[in-house]
């Protein structure tokens, strides 16, 4: 068995596990050095399906003790560096291989990146592309798959044997990449639409009707003010823009505090913070207070910008509750929704509705207030629609009774 065959066998065996792609790529670079291929710089690039990123890249340089994973935002495709890159040239011209000698008689430096590499002492550059079908790309494989870039700084560059070895392992490397990348894309999609905890539960096999678990949690529920009026008044694209401004204010601080958005229910946001013990609940409650303050500070900033642009402002309230909830699958076997149910959720929805009537931003139950004594003020017991018996409610002392400007429903 030749050296390239040994590397191929190793790559295929790695695909059977659950390794990180950057770890595999690092070990591959070390193995190639070990069999005499003089790589001194390597890059592995691929497009991805993610709400924040359009592509990812793993970088390795000789003497590095690990490979580094980087992400490229969707707007990065318009940068000058990408427009002038060899990779863009390969994709637009459907090239599977691009080889450039950076020194000597056959020198060809026709991209800015190659000029920079040559100036840094590199002598040879090889880019290999393998296309394969990926989620989000339909039936067209243009721009899909992986591009692997190898560079060296040996005086005479790569030998023909080096080039043959790198091309011989390309398909095996692409197969490993396809397996790992598509698994990661699946995780990205599931977590984007279901949330991290719910997504992991589904991927772990909890996909049958009735699958679920009971846990204690702090529940954050927010609802947009005046949505009926706004829906009737605004064009659909303007209302969607307003909704996204609102969701950013109502959900972002909660996510930063460690919460998981379990559902966007029309123009409402349901966020869950699992709590295992009282100490964890006390620490979380302090974070929640900060997140509430940040949420309404963001609202004020967004409204100032919307007001200056002549757009409608947003208003919302937040209800907080602590108790047992059930994470589980509901629906019919053919179409399930992973959500949270229980009296804790029912109560917090009703509590949020009272924030408007009581002219306050935030209302919480005693179970929330008791986690951080001295930070909440009682506003008395109130009847909740559909909930047996009145419930004592609290406002955070540092949020006071600030009114929320909003159009009436």
- Domain co-membership, 206 together with 180: no
pLDDT score of 138 = 46
**Final residue belonging to a domain, choices 161, 191, 221:** 191
Q: Is 306 in contact with 339 (CB distance < 8 Å)? A: no
Cite the DSSP H helix spans in 225-365.
227-233, 236-256, 278-308, 343-357
Output the CA–CA distances (angstroms, integers) from residue 222 to 127, 189, 251, 317, in the order listed. 50, 24, 8, 6
- 60: in domain: yes
- Domain co-membership, 170 together with 226: no
Give the whole-angstrom CA distance, residue 57 versus residue 160: 27
Segments of 28-110 assigned E as strands? 41-47, 53-61, 68-73, 97-101
**Final residue belonging to a domain, choices 191, 222, 240:** 191
- Domain co-membership, 182 together with 239: no
Tell me which residue range forms the domain holding 25. Answer: 3-191
Mean pLDDT of 88-96: 90
Output the CA–CA distances (angstroms, integers) from residue 362 to 217, 218, 384, in the order listed. 18, 14, 15
Check residue 215 and give left, alpha or beta (phi > 0: left; psi -120 to 50: alpha). beta
Mean pLDDT of 126-148: 73
Residue with tokens 């972002």: 252
pLDDT digits (tens, 9 = 90+) for 212-268: 677 788 999 999 998 888 888 899 999 999 999 999 999 999 999 988 887 777 788
pLDDT digits (tens, 9 = 90+) for 337-353: 666 778 888 899 999 99
Poorest-pLDDT segment among 33-37, 84-88, 180-184, 348-352: 180-184
| Two structure tokens written together for 217 | 């949690």
pLDDT of 404 > 50? The answer is no
Output the CA–CA distances (angstroms, integers) from residue 149 to 99, 142, 145, 277, in the order listed. 10, 18, 13, 50
Highest mean pLDDT among 148-152, 256-260, 365-369: 148-152
Check residue 383 and give left, alpha or beta (phi > 0: left; psi -120 to 50: alpha). beta
User: How does residue 400 score in pLDDT terms, banded at 50, 70 and 90?
Assistant: very low
Residue with tokens 């967004």: 302
Cβ-based neighbours of 173, under 8 Å, separated by 6 or more: 11, 28, 130, 146, 148
- 402: in domain: no
For residue 78, the 8-state DSSP code is G
pLDDT score of 278 = 73
Give the whole-angstrom CA distance, residue 219 versus residue 323: 8
Which of 35, 33, 27, 28 lies closest to 1 in space, CA to CA? 35
| Two structure tokens written together for 14 | 């790695």
- 409: in domain: no
**Final residue belonging to a domain, choices 158, 191, 224:** 191
- Domain co-membership, 88 together with 137: yes
- 364: in domain: yes
pLDDT of 210 > 50? The answer is yes
Give the whole-angstrom CA distance, residue 281 versus residue 230: 37
- Domain co-membership, 361 together with 215: yes
Give the whole-angstrom CA distance, residue 44 versus residue 180: 13
Mean pLDDT of 3-26: 86
pLDDT score of 248 = 93
pLDDT of 408 > 50? The answer is no
Residue with tokens 């989000």: 136
Average pLDDT score over the chain: 84
- Domain co-membership, 157 together with 289: no
pLDDT score of 406 = 33
Three-state secondary structure call for residue 393: strand
- Domain co-membership, 344 together with 384: yes
- Domain co-membership, 169 together with 216: no
- 37: in domain: yes
Give the whole-angstrom CA distance, residue 31 versus residue 187: 30
Task: Identify the CATH number of the domain in which residue 262 sits.
Answer: 3.30.70.1230
Global confidence as pTM: 0.64
Element (H, E) at 184: helix 170-194
pLDDT score of 133 = 74
For residue 107, the 8-state DSSP code is B
Give the whole-angstrom CA distance, residue 99 versus residue 82: 19
- Domain co-membership, 177 together with 233: no
User: How does residue 303 score in pLDDT terms, banded at 50, 70 and 90?
Assistant: very high
User: How does residue 157 score in pLDDT terms, banded at 50, 70 and 90?
Assistant: very high
pLDDT score of 336 = 59
Task: Identify the CATH number of the domain in which residue 187 sits.
Answer: 3.30.450.40
DSSP 195-229: -HHHHHHHHTT--STT-EEEEEEEEEEEEETTHHH
- 91: in domain: yes
Give the whole-angstrom CA distance, residue 402 versus residue 359: 7
- 403: in domain: no
Q: What share of the chain is helix, strand, coil (3-state, %, to 5)?
A: 40, 25, 30
- Domain co-membership, 140 together with 235: no
Mean pLDDT of 266-291: 83
pLDDT score of 393 = 93
pLDDT of 291 > 90? The answer is yes
- Domain co-membership, 176 together with 205: no
- 320: in domain: yes
- Domain co-membership, 147 together with 207: no
Q: Is 330 in contact with 372 (CB distance < 8 Å)? A: no
How many domains would you assign to the chain? Answer: 2
Mean pLDDT of 24-53: 90
């Amino acid at each position: 068995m030749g050296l390239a065959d040994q590397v191929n066998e190793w790559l295929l065996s790695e695909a059977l596990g659950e390794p990180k792609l950057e770890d595999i790529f690092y070990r591959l670079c070390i193995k190639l050095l070990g069999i005499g291929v003089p790589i001194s710089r390597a890059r592995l690039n691929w497009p991805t399906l993610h709400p924040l990123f359009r592509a990812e890249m793993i970088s390795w340089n000789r003497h590095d003790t690990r490979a580094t994973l980087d992400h490229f935002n969707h707007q990065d495709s318009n940068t000058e560096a990408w427009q002038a890159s060899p990779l863009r040239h390969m994709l637009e011209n459907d090239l599977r291989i691009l080889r450039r000698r950076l020194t000597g008689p056959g020198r060809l430096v026709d991209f800015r990146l190659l000029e920079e590499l040559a100036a840094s002492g590199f002598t040879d550059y090889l880019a290999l592309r393998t296309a394969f079908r990926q989620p989000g790309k339909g039936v067209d494989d243009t721009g899909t798959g992986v591009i692997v870039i190898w560079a060296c700084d040996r005086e005479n560059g790569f030998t023909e044997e080096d080039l043959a070895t790198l091309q011989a392992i390309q398909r095996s490397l692409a197969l490993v990449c396809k397996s790992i990348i598509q698994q990661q894309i699946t995780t990205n999609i599931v977590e984007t639409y279901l949330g991290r905890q719910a997504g992991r539960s589904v991927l772990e096999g909890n996909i049958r009707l009735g699958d679920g678990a009971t846990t204690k949690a702090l529940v954050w529920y927010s609802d947009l003010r005046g949505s009926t009026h706004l829906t009737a008044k605004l064009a659909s694209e303007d209302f969607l823009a307003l909704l996204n401004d609102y969701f950013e204010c109502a959900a972002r601080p909660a996510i930063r505090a460690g919460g998981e958005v379990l559902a966007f229910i029309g123009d409402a946001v349901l966020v869950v913070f699992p709590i295992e013990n009282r100490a964890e609940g006390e620490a979380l409650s302090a974070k929640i207070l900060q997140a509430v303050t940040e949420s309404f500070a963001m609202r004020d900033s967004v409204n100032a910008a919307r007001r200056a642009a002549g757009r409608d402002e947003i208003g919302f309230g937040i209800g907080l509750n602590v108790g047992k909830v059930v994470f589980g699958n509901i629906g019919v076997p053919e179409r399930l929704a992973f959500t949270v149910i229980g009296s804790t959720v029912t109560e917090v929805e009703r509590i949020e509705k009272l924030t408007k009537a009581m002219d306050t931003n935030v209302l919480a139950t005693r179970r929330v207030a008791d986690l951080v004594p001295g930070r909440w003020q009682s506003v008395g017991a109130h009847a909740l629609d559909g909930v047996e018996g009145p419930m004592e409610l609290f406002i955070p002392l540092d949020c006071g009774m600030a009114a929320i400007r909003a159009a009436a429903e």
